[in-house]
Amino acid sequence: MSFNDESLHPETVPVKVSSRPYANTDIFLEKRQPKATEPALPVDEEGTEDIYKRQIQDLHKFNHKKVKDELVEKYSFDWRAERKSLPPHLSQVSLQHSFIPRVGELVLWCPYFPEELDLIFDPQTGFYQFYSFAQKRFLGFPNWHGGVIAATPSSIALDGSPDFPDLLSNPKKKFAYNNSGFRVETFPDPNNDTDKSLSKQYKYVPLRQIRPLSHWQTLLRGIPERKLDPSVKYALTGMTTVSLLEKFRFVGDWPKASIHCKGIYLGAELIIVGDAVRILPPPTPTQSGTSTPTPPPRQNGCTDVLVISSIRLNLHDITPEHTLPTSRQLSTHSSITLVGRAYTLDPRRDYRLPTDLEAYFSHTHLTPPPPLPLEDIKSAFPTVGAKHYGDWFSLHAPHQKYEISFDRVLGRLHEAEALRLWTGMSQTKPDSMNNTTRKPSLSYDLDGVVAGRKYATQTDERIPEVPAGEIAWFWADTRVQALNVETFNGYEVGAGDPVRDKETLRAWRAMLRVLDGTASAQDVKDTRLPQRKGRQKGARLVDGRVVYPGDEEGEGEEKRTKERSFSLGAKGNNQMSMAGLAQDSEDETSGEERGTGSVGGGRSAADSGMDTASGREEEQRRHGHLARKNVRKGKRPAVPRSKMQIMASVELDTLNDDEDYDDDEDGDYDGEALQDILKGKIPLARGGTEESEGGDYNPILEISQSTAARSSSPGPREKRMKH
């Protein structure tokens, strides 16, 4: 395996990185080239602060003391957008089985899978084909496609997470496949930057129509290459891509530092902290070029497993030049390593045995150490059924940790029962003599993974040319860049997103300041958000104009009094209260202004030649004009009144307008009784309802109706005037 001329620890991979420490190709280095007018604050090409460069600067500034900080990218749009979705998603993934596909993984999937058929391993031919139990015969090969998982089931609350029965059958679900299934999109050519139309060929399918991409050699065996869908080769081209996920902590100790991450996309799989991964066999001494002690020879294939506790981006040999904003790199060398506790199925590799071969074989009386107890295996391995792989032994002491390079990872350790179902081992009955089942091997896809990585090294045009047979990696910033897709789950992403222009980025940055409470007036304008319509809170309407809080300062006591006299926002300013204002204002006017039919003030309807109805209409118009005039003058009751009080004042004003009215003359009205009702001495007849405060029967309204009837007919005074 070839990387750079420099070499570090035999299990680390030195590569050069840019100021954003997760790109190692010249493609990204040229894009990160700082401009001559770039400010002192290190930023990327979108103007977002580069917090990794800032951490390196702080490490150098504080006298090279050890630093341990949490990474918060508060000025990054993507980081802020992921806060509500990514951490819960990673927590959910950590609780699922290892064999369940994860978002962003490359897989093999079959769009057409009849319900009545099953995918069975044919032991006679060694092929995986459709089998009909009704017809008891094989019916051909599935039409496999290469795809990417765009969405996982969203109905796990009711349907539950996919489990072992979903591997080969379709258990009954409460929701359709668009909620209970996986959205798989056909994977386009990563070397073609223009045609991404294959991403539109997607489908929601159950788990039994999906297989890991590492099974490609066994699943495609027997299918002619000309009949393979092109997307299969496109998916294999992404087998040597790597990108880090969720960087959350920076630990520095000059001149080195490390950035801790919660996940890593490695080839076709997503690996997170807490997973158990299989380790590739180590290279021979001639391949590594080092003189490190040689461990005892292991069994053929993969025998070691690492339970990950930390995923790190290591920065080696940091110099003061790397702290400058103009520097395109964070360190001289960098590497990605996985740290955790390691276990092995090979008893000869137990840490309690000597590592020297000669010493080991000279002490033939030494007995192998006992394997881990079952309880220790259950607590150490996150994978269900890890005991079914065999007896496990520790590769190191309990107080130590094991660290490997990312390219030493073969893949996740899947559940043993899932592996039996996939490989056809469950089709055969267990040994009746020993009553035991066959143990699955950790190397079931070793050849397929190695062959796929070699194929990707030669076909991925983003990887520099290397000698045939060697493996090189493409280090991308994000999974979208690694897969080079334009759309994902129906959304335009990466370079295919036309929204991230200069104006939009300025608006987004202003929105972040608004959310943080540090926005200026210009930032509010830059957000381009619709502003609040209507008058400002606290504004009032005075003399036909809007007065805002603080405008009345220094205007004089008289003007301030007028402005405080009436406000549309005050409680009780409705049509009923306006009616009350109109009647109150009449009390302060003269009889001539009121236009009543009294002898001493103005003309009556009979004197002017007008009938009673037209006189009342003219009187109502005059009263309305006077009410509006009084409102502008500020004549308004200080305390808002209830509907009952308003209606009572209307009736009292109507009665008081007639100066010679005698409440005992007709015998059907008693003014004292009305006052007692208003003062609460006499309770109302019925309880309150939603229609009126006094109930569905109101004596005041009945009195007002009788009064209106009397006013429409000639009263005693009018009769006397006619005579």
Q: Model confidence over 619-668: pLDDT tens digits?
A: 656 655 555 555 555 555 445 566 666 665 555 555 454 444 444 444 44
In this structure, are 690 and 616 located in the same domain?
Answer: no
Residue 632 lies in a domain: yes
What average pLDDT score do residues 533-544 get? Answer: 74
Q: Among residues 406, 408, 410, 407, which one has the least CA distance to residue 448?
A: 410
Is the pLDDT at 271 greater than 50, yes or no? yes
Q: Which two tokens stand for residue 376?
A: 């220790």
Higher pLDDT, 92 or 591: 92
Q: Among residues 658, 670, 668, which one has the least CA distance to residue 715?
A: 658
Determine the pLDDT at residue 697: 53
Whether residue 170 contacts residue 206, with contact meaning beta carbons closer than 8 Å, is answered with yes
In this structure, are 613 and 655 located in the same domain?
Answer: no
φ, ψ of residue 99 in degrees (nearest 5): -80, -5
For the residues of 185-243, what is the DSSP string, one character each?
Answer: EE---TT-SS--GGGG-EEEE-GGGEEEGGGHHHHSTTS-GGGS-HHHHHHHHGGGEEE
Residue 201 lies in a domain: no
Burial of 89 (0-12, 13-18, 19+ CB in 10 A): middle
Whether residue 301 contacts residue 443, with contact meaning beta carbons closer than 8 Å, is answered with yes
Determine the pLDDT at residue 66: 75
Residue 460 lies in a domain: no
Determine the pLDDT at residue 460: 93
In this structure, are 631 and 698 located in the same domain?
Answer: no
CA 22 from centroid of its chain's CA atoms: 23
Strand partners for 253:
256
Q: Among residues 143, 144, 148, which one has the least CA distance to residue 106?
A: 148
Determine the pLDDT at residue 459: 94
Q: Which two tokens stand for residue 651?
A: 């009736």
Confidence band, pLDDT 50/70/90 cuts, at residue 550: low
Residue 580 lies in a domain: yes
In this structure, are 577 and 604 located in the same domain?
Answer: yes
In this structure, are 667 and 710 located in the same domain?
Answer: yes
Pairing state of beta strands 202-205 and 67-70?
unpaired
pLDDT tens digits for 706-723? Answer: 555 555 555 544 444 444
Whether residue 228 contacts residue 451, with contact meaning beta carbons closer than 8 Å, is answered with no
Last residue of a domain, one of 595, 610, 640: 640
What is the pTM assigned to this prediction? Answer: 0.68
In this structure, are 632 and 646 located in the same domain?
Answer: no
Whether residue 347 contacts residue 390, with contact meaning beta carbons closer than 8 Å, is answered with no
Last residue of a domain, one of 584, 605, 640: 640
Whether residue 316 contacts residue 335, with contact meaning beta carbons closer than 8 Å, is answered with yes
Tokens 């306006």 — which residue? 578
- Residues of the domain holding 590: 570-640
Residue 271 lies in a domain: no
Q: Which two tokens stand for residue 167?
A: 């591997």
Q: Which two tokens stand for residue 684?
A: 């109302």
Determine the pLDDT at residue 497: 80
Last residue of a domain, one of 640, 665, 692: 640
Whether residue 260 contacts residue 311, with contact meaning beta carbons closer than 8 Å, is answered with yes
pLDDT tens digits for 411-423? Answer: 999 999 999 999 8
- Write the DSSP symbol of residue 26: H
Determine the pLDDT at residue 338: 96
pLDDT tens digits for 49-104? Answer: 888 888 888 888 876 667 788 898 888 888 888 988 999 999 999 999 999 999 99
Separation of alpha carbons 267 and 184, rounded Å: 17
In this structure, are 599 and 583 located in the same domain?
Answer: yes
Task: Please give the share of the chain, as a percent, with pLDDT higher than 70.
Answer: 64
In this structure, are 662 and 705 located in the same domain?
Answer: yes
For the residues of 470-503, what is the DSSP string, one character each?
Answer: ----EE-SSHHHHHT-SEETTEE-GGG-TT-SHH
Residue 402 lies in a domain: no
Determine the pLDDT at residue 438: 77
Task: Please give the share of the chain, as a percent, with pLDDT higher than 90.
Answer: 34
Would you call the peptide bond into 255 cis, given omega within 30 degrees of 0 as the criterion? yes
With a CB cutoff of 8 Å and minimum separation 6, the contacts of 655 are: 661, 663, 671, 707
Confidence band, pLDDT 50/70/90 cuts, at residue 613: low
| Top mean-pLDDT range of 271-280, 348-357, 419-428 | 271-280
Question: What is the average pLDDT value for the chain, to the nearest integer?
Answer: 75
Determine the pLDDT at residue 34: 43
In this structure, are 659 and 696 located in the same domain?
Answer: yes
CA angle 141, 147, 152 (to 5 degrees): 110
Number of domains in the chain: 2
With a CB cutoff of 8 Å and minimum separation 6, the contacts of 591 are: 598, 600, 601, 602
In this structure, are 621 and 607 located in the same domain?
Answer: yes
Confidence band, pLDDT 50/70/90 cuts, at residue 310: very high
Residue 635 lies in a domain: yes
Is the pLDDT at 15 greater than 80, yes or no? no
Determine the pLDDT at residue 306: 95
Q: Which two tokens stand for residue 506?
A: 């300025």
Residue 717 lies in a domain: yes
Determine the pLDDT at residue 625: 58
For the residues of 125-173, what is the DSSP string, one character each?
Answer: TTEEEEEETTTTEE------EEEEEEE--S-HHHH-S--GGGGTS----
